[in-house]
Amino acid sequence: MQAHQRMLDPTSKGPHSGEFPLLQTAGLTKRYGDFLANDSIDIDVWPKEIHALLGENGAGKSTLVKAIYGLIQPSAGEIRWQGERINLSGPSDARRRGIGMVFQHFSLFDNLTVAENVALGLDGRESFKDMSARLEQVSKTYGLPLDPRREVWQLSVGERQRIEIVRALMQDPKFLILDEPTAVLTPQEADQLFIVLERLKAEGRAILYISHKLEEVKRLCDTATILRGGRKVATCNPRLETAASLARMMVGSEIKEVKAASARKSTVPRLVVNDLSLAPGEAHGVRLKHISFELKGGEILGIAGVAGNGQDELFAALSGERLSKDPGTVVIEGIAAGHLSITQRRKLGAAFVPEERLGHGTAPRMKLSENALLTGHAASGMVHRGFIDNAATLKTVDRATETFDVRKAKRDPEAASLSGGNLQKFIVGREILRNPAVLVVSQPTWGVDAGAAAVIRQALLDLATAGAAVLVTSQDLDELTEIADRIAVMFHGKLSAPLAVSEASREKLGLLMGGSSLEPREAAHAVGA
Amino acid sequence: MELVEAIILAVLAASTPLLIAATGELVTERSGVLNLGVEGMMIVGAACGFAGAWLTGSILIGALFGIVAGTMMSLIFALMALGLAVNQVATGLALTILGVGLSGLIGAGFVGERITPAVHLFIPGLTDIPLVGRVLFGEDGFVYVSIALVVGVWWFLYRTRAGLVLRACGDNHVSAHALGYPVLRIRTFAVMFGGACAGLAGAYLPLAYTPFFIPGMTAGRGWIALALVVFSSWRPGRLVVGAYLFGAVTILQLHAQGWGVGIPSQFMSALPYLATVIVLVLLSRARSGGSTAPAALGTVFVPDR
């Protein structure tokens, strides 16, 4: 096994200066009970290198970087820093040696200020005042503007990431780990980030870059290590590979291409939203402002946008989790439904798949059959005179399992025991099997492995082909351009006019996601009027 | 004049146990832990405090007994809610029930005994100043300690790095853990501080407020202290205002009864509790913008290792 991996590893005798890699793991293994999250992983990262770590969800990327950052102790194997074996006692130990980390799910504190957040990531040997001064200096040097006195909850996702990066840079790290940094950025924001990363590389630092956006990796990274099922599959130069060959190594098999059926009939509008405005329901929420769109049968409308621009609020208003005073703001199948409850909307033929799988989409500790009942009770004949028809609920589970290839340990397990991709296939399947006229789905493939994502996207396309109206909210522009007919962008609670997918270039969408208008003259006119 | 001075003194005396207990609970909750056992920790502090003072004849040792007793009680809570990740609300309620029973057991032998209460400060010249002299320079030691405690906690929370880390744990324990802070250890210290304060607040009652012990003498003050923390929206400055406000309502209802105001005394006794409810309602209605409560308050945290 070891020999095999060395053979695949061209960097071990690569054209690098210096004798030792900056950071090296040798046979690094992390075991949780019977489960091997990392199985004997060897990687070498050299100075002046942007090293990609590729893999599906659950491949072991997060476990590996947590071990390198000292958050977890490896069960076996070792970490070498500049050729010397080290045992990290914790993240502060890692930081002291020069290892920094930018987390995917930001490790920020919403109700503290920017400066306080940065201070918490440092070791506190300088006064708060000196630290604030240095913060301003670092953010200026790298072109990452920040107001140290603002509280984090007031900031956009891009700004939050800037805090993380500045916090890591203030430790002057030799080695920086970035965990899916572009997942929440607009294309323009991502470009700015790449400039910063290239500069860090030029300064002689090494970067371990976790991503599953393959084009990005090909553009930015010098080396890529690919993990699958907790094992290292290969180390390669991503510039010499194609996105398809990288994907094949990640997944271990070919991914089915999603195909749209050729002729789609556009008929009557099945979901209409008229001038929907809604005050936020909770602290830190977004106000929806005059949202209007029309969705015909057989059509998929994509809603793009950086997270936290009102997508959650729009979903709540459409699903009936929040009601609007004016019934005419949401029209389902020609019936004013703005004031109707979730169940009443389901009876009109609508179905909803929220972003959060556990806790919102399903009750985690309930069986799949019970979860099928929770959304199907109104309109699927699972309840007779107030009694549950167990055979019918189980049948729904079986049908979803067969149709959407849900893999599970037993016939009717608890929702929480399924992997993210399988649970999402079940949830989408549960709704699609009800033959909805309108399907509203939020982040259908968030954190789902590529194979399951393809199944889900195909299911959405097939549903639209069968004549349903489908509304998809996603942060993944590639996903939207793949399946949607039109794409609109949410920004600060407003929805742009939808663009036909043929006209929706990444640049245009990126501008809209950043709040710019595509027709500056018209916008100026509107302000004047 | 005499009456106004007497009322102010009485208000301060009634407010002090609320202020001390609430300050401790504020620190606990700022670290993200909701300990509903304040009443239980207070009453055990009262029983042990009285026992300590009666056995040794020293108010100071009595107070120390109260502090240690409150801390021990809070350690039970820490073991359950932090160590074993049991539901915090249930653990806190159980702690109060345990405390009420335990204090009756400890204090059974002391019911009917008397001690010499804590002496009041006397500075010749200053204490004799009319109206303000006794209020400012003639209090018992507990009152000064309570003020120092709030100022100290404010300084700790907003001016020290340790305070920042504690607030960070209360805001987002996952992030705090990811940055390498020992969340559970920090929370344990915060819970212990809360217990020590509750114990001291409880001990104040038989050592300074009334010089004897009766079972159940905390009479719901622990619950008021909990409400005060919410009332203050977790800020020490507002906590002082709240504590004195509630102390004032308690005393005024006594005087109102004395003046023969034609309202049933039961209603007047209920007034502080009613005020608590009204303030909580008003506060929750007026809330806007950033979240006021520590975001991780009352949630269980189990670090992965």
Q: What is the mean pLDDT of residues A385-399?
A: 89
Residue B190 confidence (pLDDT): 97
The answer as to whether B251 is a domain residue is: yes
Name the burial class of residue B133, with classes exposed (0-12), middle (13-18) and buried (19+) by CB atoms within 10 angstroms of its CB: middle
Determine whether the interchain pair B175/A91 forms a contact, defined as Cβ–Cβ distance below 8 Å.
Answer: no
- Choose among B161, B171, B287: nearest Cβ to A110: B171
| pLDDT > 90 fraction of chain A, expressed in percent and rounded | 38
Residue B274 confidence (pLDDT): 80
- CA A297 to chain CA centroid, Å, is 28
What is the domain range of residue B204? 2-111+136-286
Determine whether the interchain pair A284/B291 forms a contact, defined as Cβ–Cβ distance below 8 Å.
Answer: yes
The answer as to whether B167 is a domain residue is: yes
For residue B276, pLDDT beyond 90: no
Residue A8 confidence (pLDDT): 40
- Give the number of other CB atoms < 10 A from CB of residue A249: 18
Determine whether the interchain pair A283/B176 forms a contact, defined as Cβ–Cβ distance below 8 Å.
Answer: no
Residue B284 confidence (pLDDT): 67
Whether the CB of B163 is below 8 Å from some CB of chain A: the reply is no
The answer as to whether B291 is a domain residue is: no
- Is B302 within 8 Å of B85 (Cβ atoms)? yes
Residue A7 confidence (pLDDT): 39
- Is A304 within 8 Å of A474 (Cβ atoms)? yes
The domain that holds B11 is classified in CATH as 1.10.3470
Over residues A242-258, the pLDDT tens digits come to 888 888 888 777 666 66
Chain A partners within 8 Å of B176 (Cβ): 109, 120
Distances in Å between the Cα of A223 and the Cα atoms of A43, A219, A226, A228, B84 are 11, 11, 10, 17, 44
Confidence band for A527, pLDDT divided at 50, 70 and 90? very low
Phi, psi of A270 (to 5 degrees): -105, -25
Within 8 A by CB and 6+ apart from A501, the residues are A302, A480, A481, A484, A485, A486, A487
Q: How far is A262 from chain B (nearest CA, A)?
A: 48
Chain A partners within 8 Å of B234 (Cβ): none
Number of independent structural domains in chain B: 1
3-state secondary structure of A200: helix
Confidence band for A526, pLDDT divided at 50, 70 and 90? very low
- Residue ranges of alpha helices (H) inside A14-105 are 61-68, 91-97
Residue A265 confidence (pLDDT): 61
Distances in Å between the Cα of B266 and the Cα atoms of A309, B73, B219, B247, B257 are 53, 33, 15, 17, 10
* A·B CB contacts under 8 A: 66
The answer as to whether B126 is a domain residue is: no
For residue A524, pLDDT beyond 60: no
Furthest CA-CA distance within chain B: 65
3-state secondary structure of A207: strand
Residue A235 confidence (pLDDT): 92
Instruction: Supply the mean pLDDT for chain B.
Output: 89
- Is A393 within 8 Å of A369 (Cβ atoms)? yes
Confidence band for A14, pLDDT divided at 50, 70 and 90? very low
Determine whether the interchain pair B175/A106 forms a contact, defined as Cβ–Cβ distance below 8 Å.
Answer: yes
- Residues paired with A303 in a beta bridge: A473, A488
- Give the number of other CB atoms < 10 A from CB of residue A221: 23
Over residues A139-161, the pLDDT tens digits come to 888 888 888 888 888 887 778 88
User: Residue A216 and residue A243: Cα distance in Å, rounded?
Assistant: 10
Confidence band for A519, pLDDT divided at 50, 70 and 90? low
Within 8 A by CB and 6+ apart from B57, the residues are B115
- Is A333 within 8 Å of A438 (Cβ atoms)? yes
- Give the number of other CB atoms < 10 A from CB of residue A481: 17
Residue B34 confidence (pLDDT): 95
In eight-state DSSP terms, residue B121 is P
For residue A492, pLDDT beyond 80: yes
- Is B19 within 8 Å of B240 (Cβ atoms)? yes
For residue A6, pLDDT beyond 50: no
Over residues B59-81, the pLDDT tens digits come to 999 999 999 999 999 999 999 99
State the complex-level ipTM: 0.82
User: Residue A55 and residue A330: Cα distance in Å, rounded?
Assistant: 41
Q: What is the mean pLDDT of residues B20-27?
A: 97
Chain A contacts in chain B segment 274-293 (CB below 8 A): 287-291
3-state secondary structure of A148: coil
Confidence band for A53, pLDDT divided at 50, 70 and 90? very high
Element (H, E) at A397: helix A390-404
| pLDDT > 70 fraction of chain B, expressed in percent and rounded | 95
Confidence band for A449, pLDDT divided at 50, 70 and 90? confident
Determine whether the interchain pair A109/B180 forms a contact, defined as Cβ–Cβ distance below 8 Å.
Answer: no
Most confident option among A25-39, A304-318, B20-34: B20-34
Query: Which residues on chain A place their C-beta less than 8 Å from a C-beta of chain B?
Result: 70-73, 90-92, 95, 103, 105-112, 116, 119-121, 124, 128, 151, 153-154, 283-284
Residue B149 confidence (pLDDT): 96
For residue A12, pLDDT beyond 70: no
In eight-state DSSP terms, residue B126 is T
Strand intervals (E) in A13-69: 23-32, 35-45, 50-54
Residue A353 confidence (pLDDT): 94
Within 8 A by CB and 6+ apart from A56, the residues are A212, A228, A250, A251, A449, A450
For residue B263, pLDDT beyond 70: yes
- Is A118 within 8 Å of A134 (Cβ atoms)? no
Chain B partners within 8 Å of A116 (Cβ): 164, 168
- Give the number of other CB atoms < 10 A from CB of residue A14: 15
User: Residue A114 and residue A118: Cα distance in Å, rounded?
Assistant: 6
User: Residue B198 and residue A422: Cα distance in Å, rounded?
Assistant: 50
Over residues A184-211, the pLDDT tens digits come to 777 888 888 899 999 999 999 999 999 8
Residue with tokens 């009204």: B278
For residue B232, pLDDT beyond 90: no
Over residues B153-179, the pLDDT tens digits come to 999 999 999 999 999 999 999 899 988
Q: What is the mean pLDDT of residues A94-122?
A: 87
Residue B97 confidence (pLDDT): 96
Strand intervals (E) in B198-246: none
CA dihedral for B191, B193, B199, B204, sign (positive or negative): negative
- Choose among B181, B289, B305: nearest Cβ to A283: B289
Over residues B117-140, the pLDDT tens digits come to 888 888 887 777 877 777 788 788
Distances in Å between the Cα of B255 and the Cα atoms of A406, B6, B245, B304 are 72, 11, 15, 57
Over residues A162-182, the pLDDT tens digits come to 898 888 888 889 999 998 888
User: Residue B207 and residue A492: Cα distance in Å, rounded?
Assistant: 59
Q: Residue B39: which of B197, B246, B219, B236 has the closest Cα?
A: B219
Instruction: Supply the mean pLDDT for chain A.
Output: 85
Please state whether beta strands A330-332 and A269-278 pair in parallel, antiparallel, or not at all (unpaired).
Answer: antiparallel
Q: Residue A152: which of A184, A116, A188, A102 has the closest Cα?
A: A116
Confidence band for B51, pLDDT divided at 50, 70 and 90? very high
Over residues A463-485, the pLDDT tens digits come to 998 889 999 999 888 889 889 99
Q: What is the mean pLDDT of residues A339-366?
A: 90
Interface test with B, best of A120, A131, A167 (most B CBs within 10 A): A120
User: Residue B283 and residue B227: Cα distance in Å, rounded?
Assistant: 11
Q: How far is B296 from chain A (nearest CA, A)?
A: 10
Measured CA angle at A353 (ends A352, A355), to 5 deg: 135
Whether the CB of B180 is below 8 Å from some CB of chain A: the reply is yes
For residue A272, pLDDT beyond 50: yes
Q: Which amino acid is at B289?
A: G
Distances in Å between the Cα of B131 and the Cα atoms of A31, B12, B102 are 72, 14, 42
- Is A286 within 8 Å of A308 (Cβ atoms)? yes
Q: What is the mean pLDDT of residues A480-501?
A: 91
The answer as to whether B191 is a domain residue is: yes
For residue B90, pLDDT beyond 90: yes
The answer as to whether B204 is a domain residue is: yes
CA dihedral for A445, A451, A452, A456, sign (positive or negative): positive
The answer as to whether B305 is a domain residue is: no
User: Residue B253 and residue A248: Cα distance in Å, rounded?
Assistant: 78
The answer as to whether B118 is a domain residue is: no
Element (H, E) at A387: strand A387-388
Residue A355 confidence (pLDDT): 87
Domains (ranges, CATH) in chain A? 1-9+20-98+174-253 (3.40.50.300), 107-172 (no CATH), 269-528 (3.40.50.300)
Residue A262 confidence (pLDDT): 52
Q: What is the mean pLDDT of residues B283-292?
A: 60
Phi, psi of B71 (to 5 degrees): -65, -40
3-state secondary structure of A515: coil
| More confident: B266 or A39 | A39
User: Residue A407 and residue A190: Cα distance in Å, rounded?
Assistant: 35
Of A128-132, A378-382, A384-388, A452-456, which range is least confident? A378-382
Interface test with B, best of A95, A106, A107 (most B CBs within 10 A): A107
Please state whether beta strands A50-54 and A206-210 pair in parallel, antiparallel, or not at all (unpaired).
Answer: parallel
